[in-house]
Amino acid sequence: MSAPVLEIRDLTVTFTTPLGPLAAVRGIDLDVRAGEMLAVVGESGSGKSVSFLAAMGLLPKTATITGSVLLDGRQLVGASSKELRAVRGQLMSMIFQDPLSALNPVHRVGDQIAEMLQAHQKLSDKAAKARSVDLLEIVGIPQSGDRALQYPHEFSGGMRQRVVIAIAIANSPKVLIADEPTTALDVTVQAQILEVIQKVQKQFGTAVVLITHDLGVVARVCERVNVMYAGRVVERAEIGDIFDAPSHPYTRGLLASLPQAGVERLSPIAGFPPNMLRPPAGCAFRARCPHAVAECGETLPTLRQIGASHSACIRAEEVLTSS
């Protein structure tokens, strides 16, 4: 088992909003090990994106962040914008659902990759250009020499996402955060983009955090899973244990709502996630939980070891043995 390259401890993110403080992330611990493909799953609004945007220093000033995020030993919480700019793109990169918004429409794609290279490395224009073409080739863009001279609008959605990946990995970061990288793409293209991400992970030893709603995708490419609910990690396990023996009722609900084909978005579990302007005391899932008892409302449950997984359910033993 490799050592963690990214160590998140007791991370909280609270937004100041006109309606009051919104507790988006409420104390998560999460390790990303060198070279692994780690999944972060959970319903919309559970705090997946905000957790990693906080780590990247990409949240607006309305966000208050506490806790610790160590990247290769470097503390990112409270780091200056200069330090964070040096980290972004060099040690850790993030890609998003919509590749078009990540690209500059008026610059050739090759130049955009070269710019990322030269932001962090002393490279001649010629060397940066040559490396850009190599990178386009690595992410599976044919005729990469010619394609480097084109503009983002000349690429299809899937090809644009490949360009975005090329930019993200240009400086061989240790961690790549992929936030719903395939959600906006056609199903056939989704699989290709996942393959590219997997190739990068294996060929360069890049640790990948795959943020997704899609447990079908997770099953195909990830080794470990963190399940988030209402700003907390509620279950953490190896992929096989998540499917065979889910020990948190929320994880069970996610699995039960998994479509047969495994490629569509999950249909929601009955009920709604809590309003994070007023998070409930105790377990945030209890209003939707078939296993809830009065005690669930008393204290905020923390992760504890249950069999091979870690679960934040005080009734995990009963959950495991129930049908």
- Summarize as ranges the residues that interact with Mg ion (CB under 5 A): 49
Nearest distance, CB of residue 217 and Mg ion, angstroms:
15
The H-or-E segment that residue 105 falls in is none
Identity of the residue, 62 or 143, whose beta carbon is nearer to ligand ATP in the bound complex: 62
Nearest residue to Mg ion, by Cβ distance, number only: 49
Cβ pair 77, 207 in contact under 8 A: no
Residue 42 · residue 227 · CB < 8 Å: yes
Which of ligand ATP, Mg ion, none does residue 17 bind (CB under 5 to 8 Å by kind)?
A: ligand ATP
Distance of closest approach, residue 288 Cβ to ligand ATP, in angstroms: 16
Which CB, 264 or 317, lies closer to ligand ATP? 264
| Binding partner of 30, given Mg ion, ligand ATP, none, CB within 5-8 angstroms per partner class | none
Q: Which listed option, Mg ion, ligand ATP, none, makes contact with residue 194 (CB within 5 to 8 Å by class)?
A: none
Minimum distance from CB of 15 to ligand ATP (Å)?
4
Instruction: Pick one of Mg ion, ligand ATP, none as the site partner of residue 45 (Cβ within 5 to 8 A by kind).
Output: ligand ATP
CB of 25 to ligand ATP, least distance (A): 7
Choose the one of ligand ATP, Mg ion, none that binds residue 44, judging by a C-beta under 5 to 8 angstroms depending on kind. ligand ATP
Q: Which residues bind ligand ATP (CB under 6 A)?
A: 15, 17, 22, 24, 42, 44-50, 60, 62, 276
Q: How far is the CB of 14 from Mg ion (least distance, A)?
A: 17
Judged by beta carbon, residue 17 or residue 203, the one nearer ligand ATP is 17
Q: How many CA atoms lie within 13 A of 40 on its CB side?
A: 28
The size of the chain, in residues, is: 323
CA distances from 163 to 4, 95, 180, 230, 284 (A): 28, 11, 16, 33, 39
Which of Mg ion, ligand ATP, none is residue 181 near (CB under 5 to 8 Å by kind)?
A: none
Handedness of CA 165, 121, 205, 179 (dihedral sign): negative
Cross-strand partners of 238: 224
CB of 67 to ligand ATP, least distance (A): 15
Q: What is the dihedral of CA 115, 121, 125, 129, to 10 degrees?
A: -70
**CB neighbourhood size of 121 (10 A):** 14
Closest CA to 224 of 309, 165, 307, 305: 309
Identity of the residue, 46 or 112, whose beta carbon is nearer to Mg ion in the bound complex: 46
Question: Which CB, 202 or 265, lies closer to Mg ion?
Answer: 265
Smallest gap, in angstroms, from Cβ of residue 62 to Mg ion? 17
Whole-number minimum distance, CB 97 to Mg ion, in Å? 8
3-class SS of residue 290:
coil
Residue 73's binding partner out of Mg ion, ligand ATP, none, with CB under 5 to 8 Å set by partner kind = none
Distances (CA, A) of 209 to 16, 78, 83, 86, 240: 27, 22, 22, 20, 18
C-beta closer to ligand ATP: residue 45 or 173: 45
Give the rounded distance of the alpha carbon of 2 from its chain centre. Answer: 19
Closest to Mg ion by CB, 183 or 198: 183
Phi first, then psi: give them for residue 46, nearest 5 degrees.
-80, -5
